[in-house]
Structure 1
Amino acid sequence: MAITSANQLELLQTAEAVAREKMIDPELVVQAMEDSLARAAKSRYGADMDIRVHIDRKTGVAAFSRVRTVVADDELENHHAQVTVAQAAPYLDDPKIGDEIVDVVPPVELGRIAAQSAKQVILQKVREAERDRQYEEFKDRAGTILNGVVKREEYGNLVIDIGRGEAVLRRNEKIGRESYRNGDRIRCYVKDVRREARGPQIFLSRTAPEFMAELFKMEVPEIYDGIIEIKAVARDPGSRAKIGVISHDSGIDPVGACVGMRGSRVQAVVNELQGEKIDIIPWTEDQATFLVNALQPAEVSKVVIDDDAGKIEVVVPDEQLSLAIGRRGQNVRLASQLTGLDIDIVTESDDSARRQAEFAERTRLFMEELDIDEMMAQLLVAEEFSSLEEVGYVDIDELLAIDGFDEDTAQELQTRAREKLEAIATAALENARALGVEDSLIAFEGLTPQMVEALAKDGIKSLEDFATCADWELAGGWTTVDGNRVKDEGLLEAFDMSLEEAQHLIMTARVMLGWVDPSELESGVDEDAAAADAETAEDAN
């Protein structure tokens, strides 16, 4: 096949036809043809030559040329496509590195093999252009809802025709009991759009919580307009879901707006999700109130939040336990996802039994340590005294406020408590010395003898040992492992030491040892100490 005047114009006509069919720029097709003809010409003139082809965009005439590039003497590698400055002098006026010598060469005759190779190059370029066009079109559609038609099923995954391309709905992204046939219309959430070697991959989902949120945005104009905001969504696809909403207009009820007249709005979402039951919950910044709402329809008696642990304990009436937990733990699991907290459900009887056990334990402690009768010990516990330190060093007026306690009784109780604490401290100090603790640690201000004893049992026996500790090693903390929060027990956690207190003690010890400049400590800049803590924490984890 020769590129002659008889078929020159056909090149442009073919390029336009292919561009219309593939919905890509005709210029890309023409460039693909130029590359294919150049490759075929190289097989005729030599693979080492730099042969280029230009197709006139009006006449379709293909011009073939040989290009040689001017390079430095020490960079000359290909004599067919490169020349030195001296070699280029006869062809160019004042040649410089990077200049090009262009020579026109005769058009080539394309044999069967060369024509087939040129065709493959064109098809490859067209496919790449089509993939780029599809990716650019859909990359910004992630996070939106698309309508499509089921094209086929492959190993449980659905291939969806979405107009100018195909998308995949994996079987784990389908609602459990759904089944589709070829030609069925389907609505899906665009979960991800990725550029891969085989082309752009568009992944759809019908189980994502965002899918339900987008459906509500389509059905509820107030959400679309931003008057009502969806704050949290939790789903058990195909079974039950909870959605937390808040209104930025005090005159609009967020729950009522999402439900709609006679439930028309929420019912439209339910029908799309194959009958999935939806609880619409008013969102509030108060975690306890939001959780009480999230556990509906169960009633909640009491909520106890542990911010440090990221956990929340909910006390419910005994007869409400199964309702609060839900079938297979569904209700509490969705409430946990909605609030982002670990939730422990406790019945009122279990909570009462636990409190009675704590009451009895504290009563026994006061009876044994203060040598008092049961009634007096119970009075102390009832007034929320929980330790000897509180009894020994509290303002005496608080003891006098207890019914039946006179000044002599209060003073006697404080005297006994302080004597007992001193005896405990003396015993702890003797035990610490027996374990080999140095005086530098014993004399360190901020550590009680009991604390020193606890540190000694863990091998921390000097001020240097103490200064190398991390704050979480002393005060305890939480670490996330495989998505679960794991408790790190602190050496001094039993003494109610906070992270801030631990940090202050450790930094003070480092200053005393000369490891840290006091001026850096005052300005809050201590990079070496922070790095040491990070390294210690990394080693521990």
Structure 2
Amino acid sequence: MAITSANQLELLQTAEAVAREKNIDPVLVIEAMEESLARAAKSRYGAEMDIRVAIDRRTGKATFTRVRTVVSDEEFENYQSEFTVASAKDYMDNPEVGQQLIEEVPPVELGRIAAQSAKQVILQKVREAERDKQYEEFKDKAGTIINALVKREEYGNVIIDVGSGEAILRRNEKIGREAYRPNERIRCYIKEVRREQRGPQIFLSRTAPEFMAELFKMEVPEIYEGVIEIKAVARDPGSRAKIAVISYDNSIDPVGACVGMRGSRVQAVVNELQGEKIDIIPWNEDMPTFLVNALQPAEVSKVVLDEEAGKIEVVVPDEQLSLAIGRRGQNVRLASQLTGLDIDIMTEEEESKRRQAEFELRTKLFMDTLDLDEFFAQLLVSEGFTNLEEVAYVEAEELLVIEGVDEGTAGELQTRAREYLEAQNKKAMDAALAAGVEQSLIDFEGLTPQMLEALGADGVKTLEDFATCADWELAGGWTITKGERTKDDGVLEPFDVSLEEAQSMVMTARVMLGWVDPDELAADEAAATEEESEA
């Protein structure tokens, strides 16, 4: 194949035909041809040369040029495409670094191998242009629902025709074992749109919680208009789901609006989701109240929330336990997903046994440490005292309200408690010193002897060691791996040190050591406070 006047117009005709067939810009096809011809020319003239091809957009004439660039002596590497300032003087007046010499070279004859290579380059460029066009078309549609045709099924994955290309609905994104026939219409949620070298760029889902939320937005005008907001969705695809909604108009019931007249609105969503049962729950800012709603239809007697651990305990009547847990744990699992909390469910009988065990444990603590008889120790526990510190340092008036306790008895109780605590503090401090804890850490405000003992046992012996700790290493925390929450134990966690307290202590230590500028720290805190208030 020779680039002659006989086939110059054929280049433009071919570019137009390919562009129409693939629905892409003809300019992209011509640019691909230029690159392919340039590669073929390099195989003829030498791979080290900088050969460029320009095709005239009107006549189809292909012009082959050789480009050489002026570089400094230190950068000179390739004599085929570069020359130094000195050697460039033979070709141009007053050459400077960066200037280029462009010379036209004869067009090349494309042999069979070169023509095949050129064809491959053009096809590759066309495929890239198709993918770019598809990406540009769909990148802003992520997070919406698409109604398209099923093209074929491959290894359980469904290939969807989206007009300008293909999308994929993976087997794990389908509801249950649903199967689709070619040319059947299907609704899917566009979960992700991304660039890839091969394969589809558009990934669809029918199991995503967002799919259900978008379906409700289509069926419920109040959601579309923003009067009602979907706050959370939890799904067991094809089986059951829970959706939490809130209304910003007191005259509109969010649950009733989502259900619709005779259940028409929610039924439309259920039909689309292969009969998936949907519990519509009113959202509440108060997490315990919201959880009680989320566990419907089970009745809840009591809720105990531990916000720091992201955990909540729920007490239900004995006969409601199986209903609260649900078949195969489905009800409590969906409620946990909806609230973002770990939920422990126990019956009233189990909670009563636990409370009794705690009562007995605290009673024994006061009996052993304060040398009290069982009856008197039980009186303390019944009045709400849980540890020795409360007895030792509480206002005396709070002890005097206990039946049978006068000023003398109250004073004796506090004396015994303080003496015991002081003895324990001395023992802990001796252990900390034996472990090598230095005075710089002992003098740090906020650390008790027991804390120092624990830090020393963990290898934290100086103020510098303490300042390098992360807040979760001190207070503990939770790590989420593949959806599973894993507990990270903290050195000071047994002493009820929160993450915020741990962070504050570590930053204070860093300021004391001069690692952090206190003015910059104060400015950062002020900026963070301002952002929170604006939010």
Does residue 1:67 correspond to 2:67, yes or no? yes
After superposition, give the CA deviation of every residue in 1:300-335 in whole Å (9 maximum; x if it has no partner): 111111112111111111111111111111111111
Q: Whole-Å Cα distance in 2 between the matches of residues 51 and 320 of structure 1? A: 80
In the TM superposition, 1:343-422 aligns within 5 A as 343-366=343-366, 376-402=376-402, 404-405=403-404, 409-422=405-418
Change (3 A) 1:394 1:452: closer
8 A contact 1:455–1:461 mirrored in 2: no
TM-score normalised according to structure 2 size: 0.84
Q: Whole-Å Cα distance in 2 between the matches of residues 149 and 60 of structure 1? A: 40
Classify the secondary structure of the residue corresponding to 2:406.
helix
Q: Whole-Å Cα distance in 2 between the matches of residues 213 and 84 of structure 1? A: 66
Change (3 A) 1:227 1:25: same
Change (3 A) 1:195 1:419: same
Q: Whole-Å Cα distance in 2 between the matches of residues 427 and 387 of structure 1? A: 16
Q: Which residue number corresponds to residue 20 of structure 2? A: 20
Residue type matched to 1:13 in 2?
Q
Q: Which residue number corresponds to residue 530 of structure 2? A: none
Residue type matched to 1:140 in 2?
D
Further displaced range: 25-34 or 416-425 = 416-425
8 A contact 1:175–1:238 mirrored in 2: yes
Does residue 1:52 correspond to 2:32, yes or no? no
Q: Whole-Å Cα distance in 1 between the matches of residues 129 and 459 of structure 2? A: 70
- How far residue 257 of structure 1 moved from its aligned partner, in angstroms, is 1.4
In the TM superposition, 1:263-342 aligns within 5 A as 263-342=263-342
Q: Which residue number corresponds to residue 477 of structure 2? A: 478
- How far residue 423 of structure 1 moved from its aligned partner, in angstroms, is 4.0
Q: Whole-Å Cα distance in 1 between the matches of residues 68 and 520 of structure 2? A: 65
Q: Whole-Å Cα distance in 1 between the matches of residues 218 and 116 of structure 2? A: 51
Further displaced range: 351-360 or 214-223 = 351-360
8 A contact 1:369–1:417 mirrored in 2: no
TM-score normalised according to structure 1 size: 0.83
Classify the secondary structure of the residue corresponding to 2:329.
helix
Further displaced range: 412-421 or 157-166 = 412-421
- How far residue 297 of structure 1 moved from its aligned partner, in angstroms, is 0.4
Classify the secondary structure of the residue corresponding to 1:195.
coil
- How far residue 389 of structure 1 moved from its aligned partner, in angstroms, is 4.2
8 A contact 1:64–1:107 mirrored in 2: yes
Change (3 A) 1:363 1:8: closer
Q: Which residue number corresponds to residue 516 of structure 1? A: 513
Q: Whole-Å Cα distance in 1 between the matches of residues 357 and 58 of structure 2? A: 95
Further displaced range: 195-204 or 343-352 = 195-204
8 A contact 1:2–1:109 mirrored in 2: yes
Q: Whole-Å Cα distance in 1 between the matches of residues 159 and 441 of structure 2? A: 72
Classify the secondary structure of the residue corresponding to 1:242.
strand
Change (3 A) 1:447 1:383: same
8 A contact 1:441–1:461 mirrored in 2: no
Residue type matched to 1:198 in 2?
R
Change (3 A) 1:411 1:30: same
Change (3 A) 1:321 1:466: farther
8 A contact 2:312–2:341 mirrored in 1: yes
After superposition, give the CA deviation of every residue in 1:427-457 in whole Å (9 maximum; x if it has no partner): 4366457758489699969789xx5367447
After superposition, give the CA deviation of every residue in 1:34-88 in whole Å (9 maximum; x if it has no partner): 2223333344444444333322211222233333333345544444444444544
Change (3 A) 1:114 1:526: closer
Q: Whole-Å Cα distance in 1 between the matches of residues 32 and 510 of structure 2? A: 69
Query: Which of 1 and 2 has greater Rg?
Result: 1
- How far residue 220 of structure 1 moved from its aligned partner, in angstroms, is 1.5
Mind listing any 5+ residue stretches in structure 1 that lack a counterpart?
528-541
Classify the secondary structure of the residue corresponding to 1:336.
helix
Q: Whole-Å Cα distance in 1 between the matches of residues 19 and 516 of structure 2? A: 71
8 A contact 2:476–2:493 mirrored in 1: no
Change (3 A) 1:501 1:411: farther
Q: Whole-Å Cα distance in 1 between the matches of residues 515 and 39 of structure 2? A: 73
Q: Which residue number corresponds to residue 213 of structure 1? A: 213
8 A contact 1:193–1:200 mirrored in 2: no
Residue type matched to 2:489 in 1?
D
Change (3 A) 1:388 1:112: closer
Q: Whole-Å Cα distance in 1 between the matches of residues 384 and 441 of structure 2? A: 32
Residue type matched to 2:145 in 1?
I
Classify the secondary structure of the residue corresponding to 2:513.
coil
Q: Whole-Å Cα distance in 2 between the matches of residues 519 and 34 of structure 1? A: 58
Mind listing any 5+ residue stretches in structure 2 that lack a counterpart?
525-535
Q: Whole-Å Cα distance in 2 between the matches of residues 10 and 467 of structure 1? A: 77
Residue type matched to 1:486 in 2?
K
8 A contact 1:245–1:254 mirrored in 2: yes
8 A contact 1:51–1:65 mirrored in 2: yes
Q: Which residue number corresponds to residue 31 of structure 1? A: 31
- How far residue 162 of structure 1 moved from its aligned partner, in angstroms, is 1.4
Does residue 1:147 correspond to 2:147, yes or no? yes
Classify the secondary structure of the residue corresponding to 2:230.
strand
Classify the secondary structure of the residue corresponding to 1:196.
coil
Q: Whole-Å Cα distance in 2 between the matches of residues 321 and 70 of structure 1? A: 83
Q: Whole-Å Cα distance in 2 between the matches of residues 141 and 479 of structure 1? A: 35
Q: Whole-Å Cα distance in 1 between the matches of residues 136 and 220 of structure 2? A: 30
- How far residue 278 of structure 1 moved from its aligned partner, in angstroms, is 0.7
8 A contact 1:177–1:238 mirrored in 2: no
Change (3 A) 1:137 1:522: closer
Change (3 A) 1:326 1:41: same
Q: Whole-Å Cα distance in 2 between the matches of residues 74 and 368 of structure 1? A: 86
Q: Whole-Å Cα distance in 2 between the matches of residues 106 and 518 of structure 1? A: 68
Change (3 A) 1:256 1:115: same
- How far residue 276 of structure 1 moved from its aligned partner, in angstroms, is 0.6
Q: Whole-Å Cα distance in 2 between the matches of residues 508 and 65 of structure 1? A: 68
Q: Whole-Å Cα distance in 1 between the matches of residues 380 and 349 of structure 2? A: 24
Q: Which residue number corresponds to residue 100 of structure 2? A: 100
Change (3 A) 1:112 1:177: closer
- How far residue 231 of structure 1 moved from its aligned partner, in angstroms, is 0.9
- How far residue 17 of structure 1 moved from its aligned partner, in angstroms, is 0.9
After superposition, give the CA deviation of every residue in 1:354-378 in whole Å (9 maximum; x if it has no partner): 2233334444555565566655544
Further displaced range: 303-312 or 497-506 = 497-506
In the TM superposition, 1:484-503 aligns within 5 A as 484-486=485-487, 488=489, 490-491=491-492, 493-494=494-495
After superposition, give the CA deviation of every residue in 1:365-397 in whole Å (9 maximum; x if it has no partner): 555655666555444433323344444543344
After superposition, the CA RMSD in angstroms is 3.7
After superposition, give the CA deviation of every residue in 1:95-146 in whole Å (9 maximum; x if it has no partner): 3333333333343333433333322222222222222222222222222222
